[in-house]
């Protein structure tokens, strides 16, 4: 009886070890080797979607690659799913940055404003959104947002630098 219990424990432990080792093997290179760039990307994005799990930031990161990589519908579907389940203000912000990168100012502005509506005391967000407004040529709106940012936090080097950069045409850094 004792031998069979010990044997079962050894077999069970060995099975876990083999499973863990197999799981760490990595991504199968046949997903991307000898494939077109688009086929390789699509295969790897399917893996990335699984790796992202339920993490909103991770999923937005995957959606960003779809969206900016020319597969907007797939990226937008991820963004829509993330924002349909009680999104955090930062979820909206990250999606807004994707739209900004894509040159879609109206969509970016809407996402940024949704974020600030949920978190109106986000001094960094106010500075960043103001920078985008200035870069788009709306100095009055930009400076209104800069004032709000500085009212909340006037000693933040990142905000001040970002605002200064916008006056010189430098885009905010993520």
Tokens of 166: 């916008």
Q: What does pLDDT average to over the chain? A: 88
Cα distance between residue 71 and residue 42, in whole Å:
9
Residue 3: predicted pLDDT: 53
pTM of the predicted structure, to 2 decimals:
0.81
Cα 22 to Cα 41: distance, rounded to the nearest angstrom: 24
Tens of pLDDT along 120-167? 999 999 999 999 999 999 999 999 999 999 999 988 899 999 999 999
* DSSP states of 96-153: HHHHHHTT-HHHHHHHHHHHHHH-TT-HHHHHHHHHHHHHTT-HHHHHHHHHHHHHH-
């Amino acid at each position: 009886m004792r031998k069979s219990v010990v044997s079962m424990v050894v077999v069970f432990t060995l099975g876990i070890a083999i499973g863990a080792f197999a799981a760490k093997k990595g991504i199968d290179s046949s997903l991307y080797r000898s494939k077109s760039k688009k086929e390789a990307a699509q295969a790897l994005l399917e893996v990335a979607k699984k790796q992202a799990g339920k993490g909103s930031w991770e999923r937005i990161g995957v959606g960003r690659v779809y969206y900016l990589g020319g597969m907007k519908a797939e990226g937008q579907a991820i963004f829509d799913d993330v924002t349909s389940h009680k999104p955090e203000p930062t979820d909206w912000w990250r999606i807004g940055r994707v739209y900004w990168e894509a040159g879609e100012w109206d969509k970016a502005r809407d996402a940024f404003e949704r974020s600030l509506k949920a978190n109106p005391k986000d001094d960094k967000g106010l500075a960043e959104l103001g920078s985008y407004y200035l870069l788009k040529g709306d100095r009055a709106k930009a400076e209104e947002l800069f004032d709000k940012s500085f009212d909340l936090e006037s000693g933040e080097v990142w905000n001040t630098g970002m605002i200064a950069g916008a006056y010189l045409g430098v885009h905010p850094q993520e």
